Amino acid sequence: MLDQAEIHPLFHGAPDSTEFRKLRKRIIRLTREAIETYGMASVGGRWLVCLSGGKDSYTLLAALVELQWRGLLPAEILACNLDQGQPGFPATVLPEFLARMGVPHRIEYRDTYSIVTEKVAEGRTFCALCSRLRRGHLYRVAREEGCSAIVLGHHQGDIVETFLLNLFFGGKLAAMPPKLLNDEGDLYVLRPLAHVAEADCERFARAMNYPIIPCDLCGSQDGLQRLQVKRMVDEWEKKSPGRRQILFRALTQAVPSHLLDPALFDFKNL
């Protein structure tokens, strides 16, 4: 642990318990591990770190700031929140927090909520269209700010759940890549928390008393396929602890010759 006088304001008031020190050390180690494993540091330049105000995005920001503070992240950080005009969204929370913490940031307001509610039929979930609109605006902001990458707070659990969503509902073997180059070839999408467990993000953000903004403000969360998968994995975890970790490990150890995709393995000429 660094002395209080040496740390970034994001970490002032951190618990002094051995348990928290271990948690913080683990998150930083796993974030650095992902950055190194997937070559994220080679992107360099300016990173647009996307903040929703949830536990994951706060953990992401804190981990990147600490790595930068230690001289281990060769990138400039610009935090960004996209206020999408959702009813009840506490618009002052993030700008006040970021200003108080001395984090460079940009708050972008775009009323995508009205577009989504107009276009999506009653009874359907908003998330797919909302996500596409949000991504488009974040790409635009990144280009306007001269950023080389958009950085997202998806953690290990998100990656496992996406894999199962694609397996059960999409009929394909695919997850969230920790590093992706967009179709235009001008921006990377990075997920530095790829190796970090959701439970650790939860414990860290709560222990730091960051001002959490709930993710269900639009009221469209019931019936989501992702929620079904999450509940299923939670049940597995209760019955057999460690399932998420094993599922994630499987994604890092693919054996093309033991799958059935001829584009990945040349069965004909074997």
pLDDT, position 3: 45
Counting as low any pLDDT under 50, the low residues of the chain are 1-5
Q: What dotted CATH number matches 16-220?
A: 3.40.50.620
pLDDT, position 223: 57
pLDDT, position 39: 97
- Does this model's pTM top 0.85? yes
pLDDT, position 5: 47
Q: Which residue type, as a one-letter code, is found at position 100?
A: R
Pairing between β-strand 105-109 and β-strand 179-181 as defined by DSSP bridges: unpaired
pLDDT in tens, 54-79: 999 999 999 999 999 999 999 999 99
Q: Which of 137, 47, 142 is nearest to 84 (CA)?
A: 137
Q: Which of 197, 164, 199, 192 is nearest to 177 (CA)?
A: 192
* Contact status, residue 61 vs residue 10, Cβ threshold 8 Å: yes
- Domains of the chain, by residue range, sit at 16-220
- Give the integer Cα–Cα distance in Å for 174 and 163: 5
Mapped onto helix, strand or coil, the DSSP state of residue 204 is helix
